[in-house]
Amino acid sequence: MWRKAASVGGLTLASRLFGFVRDVMMAALLGAGPLADAFMIAFRLPNHFRAIFAEGAFNAAFVPRYARALTQDGEGAARAFAEDVLSITVVVHLGLLVLAIAFAPYVVAALAPGFAEDPGQLGLTASLTRITFPYLLLISMMTLVSGVLNAHDRFAAAAATPILLNICMIAALMASGLFPTVAHALAWGVLISGFAQLALVLADLRRSGLWLKLRVPAFTAHVKTFLKGFGPAVLGSAGVQIAMFADTILASFLPTGSVSYLYYADRLYQLPLAVVGIAIGTVLLPELSRRLARNDVPGARDRLNRALEGALLMTLPFVALFAVAAAPVVAALFGRGAFDLRAVAGSAAALEAYAVGLPAIVALRCVTPAFHASGDTTTPVKALAVATVVNLGLKLVLIGPYAHAGLAFATSIGAWVNLGLLVLLLRNRGRFELDRRLALNLAALVLATAASAAAIGFALAPAGAVKGLVPQMPDLAPAALIGITGFAAYVAIAGPGFWLARRFGRN
């Protein structure tokens, strides 16, 4: 399991490195002004719908059903099932695409009502949305093909697709002089990347000896079961996106740049989420599905415990860094060109608030597959509904005194509520038990994180002094010093702690 997760995580890390280059270029060329806000909305629209209908919901309902069809009925039946779902996906998304392009200004006004007060901003965002929205159809097809590949234990191509998105956007930025604005160049880069990502997974599908064709869909038992599970899974994914929609809607009423502050903070806290949480969740879902299909509940519990301890081990150093040294990190990565000190401070405030919920958000990527693997897509929706109500209520309360940082903090609290409910439900069903090894590891990780945060706090002043003595030194140097200091303190405690837990943690 860890070898597969390392493969996915390694490719995701490569993608994030390209994404860092992309974001540095975007920050320098776009900054955090009206043009940047317009592109962020146009980019978020297809990505919101993708997250609702494609990645989270689709994988939760499709992968366990495809794996079951493959195991019980053979490759022919599984392929027919995949082709039926592919055909339905194309028809539905074509209809959605036509509506989105025809009514783009209304869609933008619904997502960012604050833009409706500025006809120029609304028109620009709508024109960019018409360019980016077809990306949704392409990425949804790519997600289905990726699900088929994952069920056959082929993870590399799907994990590499985000690299193509970043490369295409970087190329678009380099060629931005050929477009009316930098935002238009980025929008076309997003669309072109959709074709590239789909082509990559289709090539791997062909190499694997599999192929899918469009056909008149048949509503077989497998398809009906998929649709039955897909509905609750969509509601679950929609709950997450509702909170993100709320961030965008409310931030559109805040001072210019607030949408961009949230975007850049989100990009940073998404690094451990993508490299660790998503990688483990991607591999854990088929792993748990196979074990539960064999009624190996103890084995599934063990895999979930190991996934949680590994995910938290690799996530908590980021929590300490983002919570204590958000401003130096943001300044080092994005503080150049049009991304001024005001943008650094705004993004850092949001990053500090996101850091509070980062452990819960990553852990959710491990806990939620424990429900989906057994075909239960309804329970996570119920837990998420409660968490979303808490999240939205806190947003309305906190936006006044804390502006965009209040929106980020509400997201963090909602994630903890969601995680607590899911863990409690799993435990009551006998599907999760905190074993001795995980308990010992958690104690070590809490101490290691506290030590790391303290070390980072002590390193802030010397790092600032070094920067003061050598003003021409890049901001990356003191930030690296701070990060290395915190990581060393973390490893000094977490390393021996994990060794002791492995030695004495057997139940």
Segments making up each domain of the chain, as ranges: 2-433, 434-507
* Residue 343: partners with Cβ closer than 8 Å, 6 or more residues away: 27, 31, 32, 257, 260, 261, 264, 334, 335
- 44 pLDDT more than 80: no
Query: Across all residues in the chain, what is the average pLDDT?
Result: 81
The residues near 180 (Cβ < 8 Å, ≥ 6 apart) are: none
Report the predicted TM-score, pTM, of the whole model to 2 decimal places: 0.70
Reported confidence tier of residue 48, pLDDT bands at 50, 70, 90: low
Average the pLDDT over 41-60 and give the result: 68
Tally the C-alpha atoms within 13 A of residue 341's C-alpha that lie toward its C-beta.
Answer: 0
Q: What is the pLDDT of residue 470?
A: 47
Task: Choose between 412 and 157: higher pLDDT.
Answer: 412
φ, ψ of residue 254 in degrees (nearest 5): -85, 175
**Distances from the Cα of 13 to the Cα of 9, 19, 262, 281, 408, angstroms:** 6, 9, 21, 15, 24
Residue 162 confidence (pLDDT): 82
CA–CA distance from 11 to each of 4, 8, 47 (Å)?
A: 11, 5, 20
Whether pLDDT at 257 is above 80:
no
Among 21-30, 245-254, 436-445, the least confident range = 245-254
* d(C-alpha 240, C-alpha 303), whole Å: 26
Rounded-to-integer distance, Cα 153 and Cα 471, Å? 51
Rg (CA), the chain: 23
pLDDT of residue 380: 84
